[in-house]
Amino acid sequence: MTDTIVRTDALSKRYGDRLAVDSVSLTVRRGEVYGFLGPNGAGKTTTLRMVLGLVRPTSGRAVVLGDAPGSPPVVARVGALVEGPGFYPYLSGRDNLRVMARYQRLDDRGVDAVLDRVDLRSRGGDRYSRYSLGMKQRLGVAAALLGDPDLLVLDEPTNGLDPAGMADMRALLVDVAAGGQTVVLSSHLLAEVQEVCDRVGVIAGGRLLAEGTVAELRGATAVLLRARPLDLALAVAMRVSGDDAVEVVHGGGDDALRVHAGPELIPQLTRELVGAGVDVLEARTVERSLEEVFLAMTGAPMTQPAGSAR
Ligand SMILES: Nc1ncnc2c1ncn2[C@@H]1O[C@H](COP(=O)(O)OP(=O)(O)OP(=O)(O)O)[C@@H](O)[C@H]1O
C-alpha cells in the first residue's frame, strides 16, 4: 500500500481569464492531518473540489488513493464535507445520517458508531434544526465518516464556530487521524492549522507557496535578548554568533536583539554579555508564527478583516 494518499501534479483550474488554481503540486501522506491554508479566494475550495472529482482540472492532474478522483473505487473510500451538507432540518441528526447511509447503500449500524465518534450520540434523536452550529458541523463530519473512509476532505470545518466548538472539532480531527484515517482540511485560520496539522500547504493567489511541517515552515528558532546597554549587547552578540545573525527588533519603546541561533547558544551568550558588563534582562527562544511566515512569503497579512470570512 502506498503512503501517498493524495498527489497533485501541476493542477490548474481556469475560470474565464481567472486562474483560480495555478499549477499546484502537493502531497498528502497516510494518517496525517494536512492543512490547506490560505486567505479567502486563494483557491482552496477549487483545489479540494478537483481532488474530489467534482471539478475537472484545466490542466495537470490529481491522484487520490492511487486512482483518478471521482472514480467509483475512490469515491467509496473518501468522505467529504465541502460546503454545507444538505441535512433535513425537521429530521433528527440520527435520521439524517440514516438517510445518507441508505443513499450510499450502507447499513444503519454504522450510524450510531459515527455519532459516537463525533460525540453526538446522546443528542442523535434531536431535530437537526435544534443543533448548535458546532453540532451541525460535527454532524457533517459524522456524515463524511459514514462508510469508514480512508480519506476525509473537509472544507473549512471550523468556519463560524466559537472557540469551544473549534476546540471540539480539533480534538475530533486529531482523534480521526490517530485512528489511521487521513484528514485534509482547508482553513484561513493560521492558529488553528498550527495546532492541529502535521503538515501544511500554504496557498495564495492560486499558487502553492510552501509545503511542509509547521516546524519546517516556521524555520529555525531565534533567541530574543533584552539587554542594556543595547549597543554593547549588539557588539557582543555579533562577536559570539556572527554579524549577520543579529538584528535589532523594535517594539513599544523596548528595543531588543534577535539572534538567529538555537537555545544552546543562550548560556555562552549570557556569560559573554555579563562578562562585558551588559545587564541581561531576558533571554528566551522564539519561533516565528505561521502568520509571520505567511507575511514573509507574500508580503501580505494572512488575517482577513473581521466579517469577511464566509
Ligand atoms: N465556479 C466558478 N466560476 C468562476 N470563478 C470561480 C468559480 N469558483 C471559484 N472561482 C474563483 O476562483 C478563485 C478561488 O476560489 P476558491 O473558492 O477556490 O477559493 P478559496 O480559497 O476556497 O476561498 P474561500 O475560502 O473564500 O472559499 C476565486 O477568485 C473565485 O472567485
Q: What is the ipTM of this complex?
A: 0.93
24 lines ligand 1 (CB under 6 A): no
The topology (CATH level 3) of 219-298 is Alpha-Beta Plaits (3.30.70)
Domain 4-216 and domain 219-298, same fold? Reply is no
* Distance from Cα 136 to the centre of ligand 1, integer Å: 24
310 lines ligand 1 (CB under 6 A): yes
Q: Which of 24, 44, 303 to mutate to test the pocket of ligand 1 (most atoms within 8 A of CB)?
A: 44
Superfamily of domain 4-216: P-loop containing nucleotide triphosphate hydrolases (3.40.50.300)
Q: Where are the beta strands (DSSP E) in the chain?
A: 4-15, 18-24, 27-29, 33-37, 59-64, 78-81, 151-155, 182-187, 199-204, 207-213, 222-228, 246-249, 256-259, 279-286
201 lines ligand 1 (CB under 6 A): no
Ligand 1, atom 29: nearest CA belongs to which residue?
A: 41
Ligand 1, atom 30: nearest CA belongs to which residue?
A: 41
Its pTM stands at 0.80
Q: What is the pLDDT of residues 213-271, one digit of tens each?
A: 888 887 777 899 999 999 999 999 999 999 888 989 887 668 899 998 888 999 999 99
Q: What is the pLDDT of residues 142-201, one digit of tens each?
A: 999 998 999 999 999 888 788 888 888 899 899 999 988 999 999 888 778 888 999 999
Ligand 1 atom showing the smallest separation from residue 55 Cα: 1
pLDDT at residue number 252: 65
Ligand 1 atom showing the smallest separation from residue 49 Cα: 18
Judge whether 103 and 87 are in contact, CB under 8 Å: no
pLDDT at residue number 183: 96
Q: What residue spans define the domains of the chain?
A: 4-216, 219-298
pLDDT of residue 1 exceeding 70: no
pLDDT at residue number 39: 84
Alpha carbon distance 115, 300 (integer Å): 41
pLDDT of residue 33 exceeding 60: yes
49 lines ligand 1 (CB under 6 A): no
E strand or H helix at 240: helix 230-241
Query: Three cell numbers at 193?
Result: 492549522
pLDDT of residue 308 exceeding 70: no
Mean pLDDT of 25-52: 93
